[in-house]
Amino acid sequence: MPSSTVPPGITRNAIWLPILAGLCASLVSIGLARFAYTPLIPSLIEAHWFSASDVVFLGAANLVGYLIGALIGHPLARRTSNKTVLRLMMLAVTLAFFACAFPLSVSWFFGWRLLSGIAGGAIMVLVAATVLPHVPASRKGLASGAIFLGLGLGIAGSGTIVPPLLSLGLQQTWLGLGLLALVLTAVSWFGWPSSAPPATVSTPVKATSTSMNPSVYLLFGQYALMAAGLVPAMVFLVDYVARGLGAGQHVGALIWIMYGLGAIVGPVSYGFLADQLGAKLGIRLVLVVQAIAIGLLSISSSFAALALLAVIIGSFPPGIVPLALARVHELIPGHHQQQVAWSRATVSFATVQALSGFAYSGLFNASGGQHVLMFEIAAGAIVCALLLELAVRLITPSNVGASLLAKASAR
């Protein structure tokens, strides 16, 4: 690799340190804080910590907090620094794990689950902006995939770490998760680079050159539709296999492990895809594959087919993060503008994800537990994300002007 491709202010050998810190942050704040809650739900109910309705309510607290964190992440960083906020948010998640070991009341539990969500949202909008400026341009996609690998590890860990901990007791499980979060926070503590991007020579870019770019708004819309498309499998997959297909909890757990395997592979492979094909083509290809996979899920019943589809679909939730981030970097050259755009993309994703969670749950109950309907709607959302690109292309002023020019030439 030519030395010119390595950003000033950090050596090649030290590039892995901020990437490791970013991976730890995404693993603690989202991978564990959000996804480790899912396998805890039955135990929370069976141990009479909370009622079934309260458990669902408490699960939503993290999604609401995620939206709040995405909104306040940059304002907090402007008052202090990215590094300081990232450290504080990881400490907040760790403290929340320990606090949740003591079910003093619903409001107590809700507050800590909300705080963990806020930390996750703030970390999501800040971690890439803090780490990626110190990574060579040709490796940004792969590096962002490595950073957000923590999401996939959290999904996989929810099916492998939590069950052994639960054998020790529910309170011990929360304390164990808190201890793991504390260790990861310590590992990342000195790995964070300076919040300021390394000094580089670049051509000034007009502030308005990207703010009205239709492709930026297309990305926001597609990212939001992806959020709507990933929720059903993330929430209902195990229940669909165990109860919907009558395969039982054991097979459902095996399928969830395959989903977790896909979640581990997703971030790095999607980031590599962005580096090799470009984010625009990469997003298009991934949407086509996901639409087909989710559609096939609703008509598949054999274990082999379900396992393969689970791996493909599981790669999607954590994988689209580095892919969407790479698209932001393709469309917007300015570092500050990239941060603003990524923050807005994250807010759009978080908003639709939270609303979709409530909407799918309500529709599921109203339909009498029709899993297939949920997957069909999810596939439709992915198809809409594909069609949105075509619609924007048709209505873009440059395309309209070219069409009028062609007609005038024909005359």
Residue 12 has a pLDDT of: 54
**Non-local CB neighbours of 266 within 8 Å, separated by 6+ positions:** 152, 314, 315, 316, 317, 318, 319
Do 14-194 and 215-397 share a fold?
A: yes
Residue 138 has a pLDDT of: 64
Instruction: Give the Cα separation of 43 and 366 in Å (integer).
Output: 26
Give the fold, CATH level 3, of 14-194.
Growth Hormone; Chain: A; (1.20.1250)
- Its CATH class, for the domain covering 215-397, is mainly alpha
Residue 137 has a pLDDT of: 67
In tens digits, what is the pLDDT along the chain, a chain of 411 residues? 344 444 444 555 567 888 888 889 989 988 888 878 877 777 787 788 887 667 767 777 888 888 899 888 888 988 988 889 999 999 999 999 999 999 888 889 999 999 999 999 899 888 877 887 777 766 766 777 778 788 888 878 877 788 788 888 889 999 999 999 999 999 989 888 865 544 443 444 444 444 457 788 888 899 899 989 988 887 778 778 877 888 876 787 788 888 888 988 888 888 888 888 888 899 999 999 999 999 999 888 888 999 999 999 999 888 888 888 888 888 887 767 877 888 788 888 888 887 887 788 778 878 887 888 989 999 999 999 989 888 777 766 554 444 433 444 444
| Phi, psi (rounded to 5 degrees) for 355 | -65, -40
Instruction: Kindly list the domain boundaries of the chain, sorted by start residue.
Output: 14-194, 215-397
Which tokens belong to 375?
């997957």
